[in-house]
Chain A
Amino acid sequence: MFEYAPAPESRSVVDLKPSYGLFVDGEFVDPADGGSLKSINPASEEVLAEVAEAGSADVERAVRAARKAYDKVWGPMPGRDRAKYLYRIARLIQERSRELAVLESLDNGKPIRESRDVDLPLVAAHFFYYAGWADKLEHAGFGADPKPIGVAAQVIPWNFPLLMLAWKIAPALAAGNTVVLKPAETTPLTALLFAEICQQADLPAGVVNILTGAGDTGRALVEHPGVDKVAFTGSTEVGRAIARSVAGTRKKLTVELGGKAANIVFDDAPVDQAVEGIVNGIFFNQGHVCCAGSRLLVQENVADRVLESLKRRMAQLRVGDPLDKNTDVGAINSAAQLERIRELSDAGSAEGAERWSPPCELPDRGFWFAPTIFTGVTQAHRIAREEIFGPVLSVLTFRTPAEAVEKANNTPYGLSAGIWTDKGSRILWMADRLRAGVIWANTFNKFDPTSPFGGYKESGYGREGGRHGLEGYLNV
């Protein structure tokens, strides 16, 4: 046997302080009411740092700082000068990418292989990409001289803490807005390191403000009357509440919510690559991906062969220490999320679906869930309808392309879909009929700053990325 020796990435590149304040008006400040939260490492349950919990007085202060910066500095600044700051931030992210990647893995639980090879390169790429737009907005297709909106309140989730920050902050700043961003309560640390990078880049005070905290902080922020634009990524439930609170105000809103994507494998698919795509679709980032391919629709005549290959491949997945460079699947982000994954998986078994996981040893401490597939799933099962947001795949079969489309679309969500076939015409035929914002053909979970991302139906509205991503931050 060829056993890989442990290959841990060093933690020493990260210099964690015991506690962090809020980042308001260019500096770290203590919260007005002194509340705090602990951010833990989900792989060990060790406390990493204490962070402030912003209350309504802090929100007030941050929004005021953002307004001032918008009126006096960032709004009037020529696009080419805003671009300089964004390029500078992008380069600093690249320079400090190892530190950011290690911290992201520590705080989130995702494998270092992903934070190093996927998250961080994409984060830098987003800043570079939107830096390029800052002085070219009149060519973006929104009129001769499109104006920014003002102060943007941005609330982001815990699954890609830094990447979601980049998706929000880069286009907002490029378009001339200032922001108040609230990272998720379980993963605030890389956003605070990003605040340090803003200082290092000499970004004018108040252009970026970071308020840590939980749901109440987020609510106070999006409901603040001084906010012109709200951008949210997270659960459909919270997205609905935000839409209600914003309704009837002048605030513009974009939301990117949940998903239950179908990954559709036809009988002429390249099997080995399709299996890789299935694995990447659902086990990437422990399945904590809103566009995860959580429903596998496989053509009945190849279902056995595909499942056999899939199980063999799953047995190769290395679950464990997120900082080990050979880890494929890391820790579940929080106890609450683990509980939800367990609850839905148990419902799957109780409803009669057949559950399978490869033999794999899970660490004693921390939050862990083995990669799992359910076969014999029907459209009526909860695990085929509800977003699990974990490493759990539901397998369904179909016989004809029309049936595949019907099943794929039979969900209130519509964020993404995957098609696996050697036939180009079928890819186009399917893509025309699938109601999903992103459709991948013979690949899955591919992201690029030039490509717009967003949903249909209850997966949200608005697009992030690409030229389209500017629209949500321009007064058009």
Chain B
Amino acid sequence: MTATTTSARSELSELGRSETALRTFLHGLPGVDQVGAEQRAAQLGTRSIKTTAKAQAIDLAIRMVDLTTLEGADTPGKVRALAAKALRPDPADPSCPHVGAVCVYPAMVPHVAEVLRGSAVHLASVATAFPSGQAPLEIKLADTRAAVAAGADEIDMVINRGAFLAGRYQEVYDEIVATKEACGDAHLKVILETGELATYDNVRRASWLAMLAGGDFVKTSTGKVPVAATMPVTLVMLEAVRDFRAATGRQVGVKPAGGIKTTKDAIKYLVMVNETVGPDWLDPDWFRFGASSLLNDLLMQRTKLTTGTYSGPDYFTLD
């Protein structure tokens, strides 16, 4: 790290000490032109990824999947099955890589931990009164500590959107800092719930806020509101992590979640990562897909590439 980024980093770390400083900084970030951002995202979606590049992209995308189930109806049996699939997504093909992580509710963490123990697959748990975040801070922190204690090494928290939209940036910042502390060694992914933030300017500000407060990842969505991850929103977040690293030297990951269902979509995202932030982020440590049905489509396309034929859906395990 150079001397300038060190001093920039310490200057930026001072911002969290005052509401005014935070506001001035976040509102001083360059704006996002909605039409332009959407056009750029659409243009990146027209890249044609074929043959060897496609095979490479599919395997990378599988390694980046946070295989997720976040249902009230989740049972220990269901999440154990999901964890088994995370380890060996394609039982018929040992060359198929394992996924990035399994993502469940805190109550399900111990059951998943049993299956994943000793493997390289991470165990992510949502916390902080997911998905609304509408609970007292003490409860959110307790939720976080419980998940970590039960074996989660990644925590997906939600930001306080009410406070953010009301302009109470300090409150949002302090909550993230407190949650990061409660995480201990676990990685913290900060869910912005971009569908509720509505504008790209807000997405950029919330991304910076989360990074300034110490988040290891910024994540688009809970998957529980009508608008989840989109290409333009992810583009704006990628630009934010790129600029944040340039300013501070610290790299932050990005996780689009919800609504990414096909291999074609996943490849579009990888192209966007490649051309916006470069190969440094083309790694499961720095980019993840929050998804469930995506994995089976990736497996189906992978089989198609290796065998030349499409297998029916019955050849892939249901979660």
Q: Write the residues of chain A forming the contact surface with B, with a CB cutoff of 8 angstroms.
A: 1-7, 113, 117, 268-274, 276-277, 316, 325-326, 422, 442-443
Contact = CB atoms under 8 A, between A and B. Distances in A.
A273 B36 contact: yes
B286 to A, nearest CB: 13
Given A2-B56, A272-B30, 20 more contacts: A1-B282, A2-B57, A4-B49, A5-B49, A5-B53, A7-B48, A7-B49, A7-B50, A113-B46, A268-B30, A269-B30, A270-B31, A272-B36, A272-B40, A272-B239, A273-B36, A273-B37, A276-B40, A316-B275, A325-B47
A413 B239 CA distance: 36
Q: Sort A-B residue pairs by CB-CB distance and give the 8 closest, nearest first.
A: A273-B36, A7-B48, A325-B48, A273-B33, A270-B33, A5-B53, A271-B30, A270-B31
Contacts of A422: 31
B53 A442 contact: no
B279 A443 contact: no
27 contacts: A2-B56, A3-B52, A4-B48, A4-B53, A6-B50, A7-B48, A7-B49, A7-B50, A113-B46, A268-B30, A268-B31, A269-B30, A270-B30, A270-B32, A272-B32, A272-B239, A273-B32, A273-B35, A273-B40, A276-B36, A277-B36, A422-B31, A442-B33, A442-B35, A442-B36, A443-B35, A443-B36
B54 interface: yes
Contacts of A326: 47-48
Contacts of B279: 1-2
Contacts of B60: 2
Contacts of A272: 30, 32, 36-37, 40, 239
Contacts of A5: 49-54
Contacts of A271: 30
A325 B271 CA distance: 14
Interface in B201-217: none
Contacts, number: 69
A326 B57 CA distance: 16
Q: Is the interface of B mostly helix, strand, loop or mixed?
A: helix
Interface string B249-284: 000000000000000000000110011000100100
A4 B279 CA distance: 13
A3 B47 CA distance: 12
Nearest to B60: A2
A273 B48 CA distance: 23
Interface of B: 30-33, 35-37, 39-40, 46-54, 56-57, 60, 239, 270-271, 274-275, 279, 282
Contacts of B49: 4-5, 7
Interface of A is mostly: loop
A325 B45 CA distance: 12
A442 B270 CA distance: 27
* Residue among A1, A2, A270, A276 with the highest chain B CB neighbour number at 10 A: A2
Nearest to A315: B278
A326 B44 CA distance: 10
Contacts of B36: 270, 272-273, 276-277, 442-443
The winner among A6, A270, A272 for most chain B CB atoms within 10 A is A272
Contacts of A3: 52-53, 56
Contacts of B31: 268-270, 422
Counting chain B CB atoms within 10 Å of each CB, the highest count among A4, A274, A326 belongs to A4
Nearest to A421: B31
A274 B35 CA distance: 11
Contacts of A2: 53, 56-57, 60, 270-271, 274, 279, 282
Contacts of A274: 33
A113 B42 CA distance: 13
A416 B205 CA distance: 34
Nearest to B37: A273
B41 to A, nearest CB: 11
A4 B47 contact: yes
Nearest to A277: B36
A117 B37 contact: no
Contacts of B274: 2
A326 B50 CA distance: 11
A443 B31 CA distance: 14
Contacts of B57: 2
A268 B33 CA distance: 11
Nearest to A1: B279
A273 B274 CA distance: 18
A268 B29 CA distance: 9
A159 to B, nearest CB: 21
A326 B51 CA distance: 14
A121 B232 CA distance: 24
Nearest to A328: B43
B212 to A, nearest CB: 19
B136 to A, nearest CB: 38
B31 to A, nearest CB: 5
Nearest to B56: A2
A315 B274 CA distance: 12
A269 to B, nearest CB: 7
